[in-house]
Amino acid sequence: MGKKMNRKDFIKTSALTGLGLSLAPFSTLVGKDDRTVSLGFLGVGARGTSHLQGILNRDDVEVNAILDPKKENLNRALDMVEKAGQDRPDGYLNEEDYTKLCQRDDIDGVIIASPWVYHTRQAVAAMENGKYAGVEVPAALTIEDCWELVQVSERTGMPCMMLENVCYRRDVMAILNMVREGLFGEMIHARCGYQHDLTPYIFNDDLEYGPGTGSVSSWRTEHYKKRNGDHYPTHGIGPVAHWLDINRGNRFVKLTANATKAKGLESHIEYYGGKDHPNEEVDWKTGDIVTSTITTANGETIIITFDTTLPRPYSLGFRAQGTNGIWQMERDAVHIRGRSNAHRWEEFDKYQDEFDSELWKRHEREAEGSGHGGMDYFVRNAFVEAIKNQVPTPQDVYDAAAWSVISPLSEQSIAEGGAPVEFPDFTGGKWIENNRIFDPNGKF
């Protein structure tokens, strides 16, 4: 094993700077490439296994412990590590043993890919024990849990990075470069969302759900029965937050949300299983289309669409618009005043080439085949390199809280008839002076 970092020194330094997680410009970090990073995994279902495989493709990371309450998941993951040439990790089957895993001295960071309800408590356990927390999306389900993540990270000085991979999508990183270089002028409006027919995951092949029915259907479907709001805002809002400098000179201020009636899942069951299927009469709570509108301190608006229960192709629905131009993902087109013909769209390709992320240009080969079009490589790499360099992660706990809290705020607004609700200021006013930490052209 390579040189071990001194986490106590990191915690002490962060505490002395009043939470250094947001202070150092990300692009100025100096690497220490002789370190070997030691990780633990909490949850190795479909998503966790994908992360594990990506980590095992590196030669600077060792996996020392894995927890999953499903024996087949755990054994598959342990075998993967051994087949990759590493020592067989310690395995934990008891879901409450996440605290034991986080207390281990031979782990620097924890990748959390368990069901949503476990994310906050497991990230808190990691930070409380001096570990970097890399938590899958969303990082929290309630306003209170968002605050707990922030308070624990501030108190311990340990980073909490939500592993939002879409922020590393190649086109949205090029758009970020265009925004920061002023091609859109002053930003005015953005749109995004998660528009994806999830019915093949909400149910198994027999249109059943709940414990024992499969991977995601065993737990995710319950959210559609109990909650009416945007369950999954972070894929869309993460890139938009970077475009608009949220938590770094700007912040989310208010949100309003509305939901349609919930008929999509009932229609899906009836179409594939018939009117006599036992789940045809379930009272689904989540509206088929949830629309949230956010206003920011700097005067922009953002529209987020959650659309996962009706037949449709996949789309994130991105749009970036300012005083000088507009980009729309679904058109794959851009219009920039002074560069584009009047009232005409241009193909985005030449802008992608001109404003491409330096990260992507450097690591395109490594990213190939890593999952989700290469985005997964970059989000994992950022987490590992932050640990290796003993520095803040490029997406911090304030990002995790501000992006995740959209979900409970949307539920609150819908329950109150679309009334506006205020965003908590998780930074305690530091957003006014905070520097940018996410850099599409940085070291990692």
Q: What is the pLDDT of residues 190-242, one digit of tens each?
A: 999 999 999 999 999 999 999 999 889 999 999 999 999 999 999 999 999 99
* Per-residue model confidence (pLDDT) at position 392: 98
Upstream peptide bond of 69 is cis (omega within 30 degrees of 0): no
Domains of the chain: 167-360+397-432 (3.30.360.10)
Q: Which letter, b or e, does each residue of 166-202 get, where b requires 16 or more Cβ atoms within 10 Å of its Cβ?
A: bbbbbbbbbbbbbbbeebbeebbebbbbbbbbbbebb
What is the average per-residue pLDDT within 333-354? 97
Among 4-13, 158-167, 362-371, 387-396, whose mean pLDDT is lowest?
4-13
* Per-residue model confidence (pLDDT) at position 32: 54
Give CA–CA dist 301/201, Å, rounded. Answer: 32
Q: Which two tokens stand for residue 162?
A: 């939500």
The pLDDT-based confidence of 11 (bands split at 50, 70, 90) is: very low
Q: What is the pLDDT of residues 45-75, one digit of tens each?
A: 999 999 999 999 999 999 999 999 999 999 9
What residues contact 133, with CB distance under 8 A and at least 6 apart? 109, 110, 112, 122, 123, 126, 127, 158, 159, 160, 161
* Per-residue model confidence (pLDDT) at position 215: 84
Task: Report the mean per-residue pLDDT for the chain.
Answer: 93
The pLDDT-based confidence of 33 (bands split at 50, 70, 90) is: low
